[in-house]
Each structure stands twice: as structure tokens, then as C-alpha cells.
Amino acid sequence: MPDWLATLLISLLKAVLVVLGLLTTFAYMTLIERRLLGRMQLRPGPNRVGPMGLLQPAADAIKSIFKEDVTVTLADKLVYTLAPIVAIGMALTAFGGLPAGPAGSLFGENPWVYNLDTGILALLALTSMGVYGIFLGGWASGSKYPILGGLRSSAQMISYELGMGLSLLGLLMIVGTTSFHGIVGWQAQNGWMILFQSLGFVLFLISSFAETNRTPFDLPEAEQEIVAGYLTEYSAIKWALFQMAEYVNMITASAVMATLFFGGWKGPQFLNALIPGVSDWPLIWLIVKIAFFLFLFIWVRATLPRLRYDQLMRFGWKLVLPLALANTVMTAAFLAFRGSGGLWFLGVLSLAGVLALLVLSDRVRVLWNQPSIRPEGDIVRAGGD
């Protein structure tokens, strides 16, 4: 067998394994999220289908597959069908470039599907393509509420992708590469990036919630306002594909945060004194870090209320974007004038920025929570006078 064909078949096999792993994780994430939300809200959650409710994802999958697929008369049939495929396709493709271990650690093969020198740029491009699935789904549905949800999603994605990209510029200037492998290797030698870019991490975390349409940024499908947004006219397996895309994007965002700021697939180095080589175990540490961030997504959903749409836009443009730009300028200035000093002073400055944001939260809240004052002449009094 030619080498190129063997390499192609191995890459296809790894891609299939990644897809199966992500879809299985999605299925049980729905169960875990419902059970955790139940515990947080003092109720049991789903526990009827199978032992301890473990077969609930299988029941949901069967229901979605065999449920009637309603066709909207005014919908653009081709785009209406392609939209959920685009959303899930981009979500699944983005995960394949993240390294899960050292080279050759997966039964002699590399634990990633593809390896690009422009790793971060490629991932940001793929994840931003997912908004096309949401917007096209809303536009092609031929209904007012879906188009409102699609427009909301487009504006939200554009607003927070700027802050997300700028929040990573400081990291890229420090490391000097956009390759995930280079970033993980740099952290293994110098320490986790969260120590030096805590402000950038906080901004990236906030932007990740907005990019994945999770609470408190789930305005594109706000059921109290626009029924279900871009999902209103979808049912059966098409609706399930959109749900898959949302959860796979959550998993990808968690893996990206673990890779960029928490050492990626490498564990804490001090554990090597207890178990030699434990910090270099493939897959294990990345899965643990992903699980932590997925729990954080669920915890925030159970804790925070949904923002108003005007608050969401103000928050992105008046707080996240300026702070990300300030973090970029601060990092660039430090690297230009630090001389031979280390990066710890930059870490202190970044942490001070996070603490200042928390301490001054009541004062900066007016940036996105400005009350709208109506002129007295526009107020209609009770009784009509």
C-alpha cells in the first residue's frame, strides 16, 4: 500500500473516531447537564429511562430520528436542509486540529486529525463559519421569528469574535507561534499561560460563552422573546443537528481554553515526583480539563439570568473589546521594554486587571446596563391623559 494512501486511511479513521467521540459526549452531556441542573435546582432530573437514567440519550436520539420532520411551505428547501449540516460540520471539523498527546502516543500514531502551523487562525475561521448555519437556517425558514434569531446570532458572533481574537493576541506575542503544539510546548517549559495572561483568559472565556450561544448570551433562541429563534421552524433530526452543533462547540471551546491557557494535554509537572511521567499521559489530562470547563458552562447556565439584547451588545463593544485591546497594548509594551526580565511582572499586571474589574464591577456596570430614560411627553399615563 502506498504511504500516502496509508496516511489518508489513518487520518480518516482518526476523524471517524473523533466524530464518534464528540457525538457520544454530546449525547451524555445532555443527560449530565439535566442531572446537574436538577441538583442545583433541588429536583431529581431525568432518571426513568434505564438504570439511573443512563439510557435517556438513546431515547432522545430515537425520538429525534423517528419524529415527523415538518416541512415549512415558505421555506427555501435546499438552504433550510443544508443549514444544520453546515453548523454541525464546522463544529466537528474544528476539533480535529487540537493535539491530545505527544506525537506517536496513540498506538504509534499522532493523537490529532490534522496539524496546521496556523492552528489558532484555522480554528477561529472554522468556528466563525458555524454562524452561517444559524443565519441561513433562520433566513431559509420563511418566518419572522427565525430571521430575528439569525440576525441576533450574526450580530452577536461578529461583536464577540473581535474581542475573542484580540484577547489571544497577547498570548501569541508571548509564544511567537500560532501552532497548538508550539503553545503546549512553550507552557511545558515556562508555565501555564493563565499565569501570564489571566485577563486575556477571562475575556476569552466570556467570548466563548457568547460564541456558543450559552446562557447568559443565548439571545438567538430566547424563548420568552422570539419563541425559539432560528430553531422555531425546525423539528426532528434537523433540530437535533443544531443541538449537536451547540454542544460540540462547547466541547471545542473547552478544549481550546485548556490548550491555550492550561497546558493542553500536559498535566502539572510536580506530579511527576509522585508518579514518574504522569504529566505526559495522553488524552487523560485534556479530558479532565475539558470536563472542568463543561461543568463551568452548566454552572453558569444555572446561576445567571439572560441579558437583554441591548445589554449584550453594549457588554461586547464597551467592555470586552476595549479590555482586550488594552491587554494587547499592555503585553506589547511589556515585551518591547522589559529587557532581560521574566514574564512574572506581566502576570501580576494581568491579574491586577482582573481584580480591578471585579472590585469596580458596580461602577463599570453602567457601560452595558444604561437605563433608557424616556421623555416625559412620550409617557402615556393611566386614563389616557
**pLDDT tens track for 228-247:** 677 777 878 888 888 888 88
Share of the chain above pLDDT 70, in %: 92
User: What is the C-alpha separation between 286 and 158, in angstroms, rounded?
Assistant: 29
> What are the backbone dihedrals phi and psi of residue 116, each rounded to the nearest 5 degrees, phi first?
-115, 140
24: left (phi over 0), alpha (psi -120 to 50) or beta: alpha
Residues 6+ apart with CB under 8 A from 88: 133, 241, 242, 244, 245, 248
Residue 246 vs residue 370, higher pLDDT: 246
Residues constituting the chain? 385
DSSP 55-94: THHHHHHHHHHHS-----TTS-HHHHHHHHHHHHHHHHHH
**Confidence at 172, pLDDT banded by 50, 70, 90:** very high
| Other beta carbons within 10 Å of 298 | 21
Count the Cβ atoms, other than its own, within 10 Å of residue 118.
13
Amino acid letter, 221: E
What is the predicted pLDDT for the residue at 378? 55
- b/e code 200-225 from CB counts within 10 Å (16+ = b): bbbbbbbbbbbbbbbbbbbbbbbeee
Query: What is residue 168's predicted lDDT score, i.e. its pLDDT?
Result: 92
d(CA 351, CA 276): 32
Q: Which residue has the higher pLDDT, 222 or 135?
A: 135
Query: Higher pLDDT residue, 330 or 155?
Result: 330
Residue-wise pLDDT for 2-54, tens only, equals: 777 888 888 888 889 989 999 899 988 988 888 898 888 888 888 888 888 88
Cα angle value 335/340/346 (rounded, 5°)? 40
Residue 109, SS3? Answer: strand
Give the separation between CA 117 and CA 101, rounded to whole angstroms.
17
> For all residues of the chain together, what is the average pLDDT?
84
Residue 198 CB-density burial (10 A; 0-12 exposed, 13-18 middle, 19+ buried)? buried
Q: Residue 52: what pLDDT?
A: 82
CA distances from 379 to 215, 347, 383, 384, 385 (A): 33, 51, 12, 10, 10
Instruction: Encode pLDDT of 272-320 as tens digits.
Output: 888 888 888 888 899 999 999 999 999 998 888 888 888 888 888 888 8
Predicted confidence (pLDDT) at residue 385 exceeds the cutoff of 60: no
Q: Does the CA dihedral 289-202-40-49 come out positive or negative?
A: negative
**Of 103-107, 140-144, 145-149, 285-289, which has the strongest mean pLDDT?**
285-289
Burial 83-106 (b: 16+ CB within 10 A, else e): bbebbbbbbbbbbbbbbbbbeebb
Q: Examine the pLDDT at 382 and tell me if it is beyond 50.
A: no
Q: What Cα–Cα distance (Å) separates residue 368 from each residue in 37, 310, 320, 363, 365?
A: 28, 8, 11, 11, 6
* Maximal CA-CA distance, the chain: 88
CA distance 316 to 298: 22
Q: Rounded CA gap, 243 and 254, in Å? A: 17
Q: Lowest-confidence range among 149-158, 181-190, 318-327, 368-377?
A: 368-377
Place of cell 515585551: 335
Mean pLDDT of 129-142: 81
Query: Do the beta carbons of residue 171 and residue 327 sit within 8 Å?
Result: no
What is residue 308's predicted lDDT score, i.e. its pLDDT?
80
- Give the position of cell 526580565: 341
Of 77, 38, 82, which is closest to residue 56 (Cα–Cα)?
Answer: 38
Place of cell 488594552: 326
For 105, phi then psi, to 5°, come to -90, -5
Q: Are 137 and 232 in contact (CB under 8 A)?
A: no
Which DSSP letter does residue 106 get? B
Answer yes or no: is pLDDT of 379 > 60: no
CB 327 within 8 A of CB 170: yes
What gap in Å lies between CA 242 and CA 72, rounded to an integer?
Answer: 17
* pTM, to two decimals: 0.88
